[in-house]
Structure 1
């Protein structure tokens, strides 16, 4: 039975959150809107555009809220995500990963005809030519961004010289228009110490400035410098090199980012809005209870979840298999019984969201809506 069938009748009923069949993906709409407003105000205050990354939420509804708050569009990791958002009426999309498969390139050309403000990243001459040919076949054009490798060797041109060479190739392709560069320091986003993270970002930003200078000297000064993330947004705004931010996880704040000192401040600038509500299914031991959320309910790449409510925040979480996890703490078996609810802060929001069909949108203790995870599974 799907989420809508199970829970739609609970919408608007006071206290209906407690009646949800668990495990369930819960979105606190009040916290979500506060997070969206805070990041929008911060970017606007620095005169920087905000193009949040939709790979985090995969949701047309959330994208609309971000754009209504001032975002210029959305970033998408894959063309499948971009297709879903475009079909939902979202404009200003940037595909941040290279599109290379023959069928994917055809889809990109088709999307360029119907998605206003679409941009895509490129890091390879042959792929740029392939995309241009596909665009020519459908009489379309596309704005492109050169992806610059920040040092992790995942994607991006590997030097300033390579960036200039690719810009020269793009300049010879009338179907493409070069708009700027992308630079995402993914390896630095989760450095927990603010001082250490800042030092790492400053070093990488100096490298980026060298690439920008080389492009400018060759006649390709970038109009757009896009990148950054939730972990580095404060630092990047202060350094003043980016013209737009791609931060995504700030809307939800998973445990990985809550473990970081994001803003050199006593409290994080954003609050947990995404939770998994679970329920105790067994409480037969003094120091351990079992809940109904395991590997299939929470991403495991970010370590353990943490307790948001229902038990002490210091309670230890441990996966116990596909369907279960343990909450471990002194006397917890006497405090929680079978059927009692607990809410968890997810370890890593992006892949956790991809496990669910719907957000269960709550305000306080009341279910107020069900939003589909529109781009769930759109990995190609």
Structure 2
């Protein structure tokens, strides 16, 4: 693995550490590449903004042609609506208490808002808020969603409650799961096929119920490039704007495509084969990587592993024969899961051509409800 010069330069440009630094040129390329894929593939792009939680990045995605944003919570939707976004999809089967019903109604009064549902109970509490719904389909991740053949019955029930049913959606999250005797490419490809088949069946189920799905929405960065020729007309990838160590391990990007990394400083060198950085779980998050050991990727030291993560420390184990950095040296760590890392940061340090140009607030940080 060659050391990515753009990430190294970005880390050196950070005013202090630990910090999440974004190479703006790589960010722009990632956004442009996915937008071009949408145009070439004939699908709308509705990026999942839970990855970046940042209005400045949302503005770039929308300017590149995204039809709107996907978010995970009402709080995230509120943050982006406050920034001027007028087309939002909350891709989650919300359970609305009275307070959330009022918040959703206020959102829907000023923007087009869609919400995911996977039960009549969810749908009943959304009725009257002004939001429309999409039926969530379980395409193999086995988290939320109904079986594809059940989509029509749920859509009919939601329609009878007075809701507009815009279509169906799924999240092929099993495209990142480790599978014995399979390569990451195999797993991603199977998840993409599962998504295509499930959404095609679900769309047919809606039509059988007398409801024409205008939106057939798939998602995830690992499967975005593997979309087939079926009925999917919208994709909702999120991680692609930054990429992370998981995406590198999956093969859905290279290290050169990573736009965000943690800039950290060596604070201790307790042994010749080990050093400690000032970026722990409160900077990187603590997600494991299903396809690669350790708590992050350290590209300047191939073969190394982040073997221990405390709140404020990362312990890096070096392979034999590799010289440890010195106290005070800057080292880059690429987080395993960038979405969690960003949610821990108050701001993103933006670097262009190796120079710190500005910092962007993580406006939807902690907007978990």
- TM-score relative to the length of structure 2: 0.89
**Residue-by-residue CA offset, 1:283-322 (whole Å, 9 max, x unaligned):** 24211111111122111113421113xx323322222422
Distance 2:304 2:313 in 1: 16
Q: Which residue in 2 is equivalent to 1:337?
A: 326
- Give the paired residue count: 350
Distance 2:341 2:75 in 1: 18
| Compared CA separation, residues 154 and 106, structure 1 to 2 (3 A) | farther
Give 3-state SS (helix, strand or coil) of 2:221's partner: coil
| Compared CA separation, residues 377 and 302, structure 1 to 2 (3 A) | same
Give 3-state SS (helix, strand or coil) of 2:205's partner: helix
- Residue 21 (structure 1) shift: 1.8
1:272 pairs with 2:258: yes
**Residue-by-residue CA offset, 1:245-300 (whole Å, 9 max, x unaligned):** 100001111101111133xxxx6497000100000011242111111111221111
**Residue-by-residue CA offset, 1:191-233 (whole Å, 9 max, x unaligned):** 6532343234324432332222121122112110112211111
Give 3-state SS (helix, strand or coil) of 1:239's partner: coil
> Which deviates further from its counterpart, 38-47 or 189-198?
189-198
- Residue 101 (structure 1) shift: 2.9
Q: Which residue in 2 is equivalent to 1:173?
A: 161
Name stretches of at least 5 consecutive residues in structure 1 with no aligned partner.
1-13, 136-140
Give yes or no for contact 1:305–1:346 (8 Å, CA) kept in 2: yes
1:160 pairs with 2:160: no
Give yes or no for contact 1:230–1:248 (8 Å, CA) kept in 2: yes
Give 3-state SS (helix, strand or coil) of 1:259's partner: helix
1:295 pairs with 2:285: no
Aligned ranges 1:119-134 → 2 under 5 Å: 119-133=114-128
Give 3-state SS (helix, strand or coil) of 1:283's partner: strand
- Residue 109 (structure 1) shift: 1.2
1:81 pairs with 2:76: yes
- Residue 118 (structure 1) shift: 1.6
1:255 pairs with 2:245: yes
| Compared CA separation, residues 277 and 315, structure 1 to 2 (3 A) | same
> Which among 214, 221, 224 is matched to residue 233 of structure 1?
224
Name stretches of at least 5 consecutive residues in structure 2 with no aligned partner.
1-8, 290-294
Q: Which residue in 1 is equivalent to 2:205?
A: 214
| Compared CA separation, residues 345 and 19, structure 1 to 2 (3 A) | closer
Flag as ranges the 4+ runs of structure 1 deviating above 3 A: 14-19, 189-192, 267-270
Give yes or no for contact 2:140–2:191 (8 Å, CA) kept in 1: no
Larger radius of gyration: 1
Give yes or no for contact 2:96–2:126 (8 Å, CA) kept in 1: no
**Residue-by-residue CA offset, 1:7-37 (whole Å, 9 max, x unaligned):** xxxxxxx999446221111111110000000
Aligned ranges 1:1-380 → 2 under 5 Å: 17-18=12-13, 20-102=15-97, 103-115=99-111, 117-133=112-128, 135=129, 141-161=130-150, 163-174=151-162, 176-190=163-177, 192-236=183-227, 238-262=228-252, 268=254, 271-303=257-289, 304-308=295-299, 311-329=300-318, 330=320, 335-380=324-369
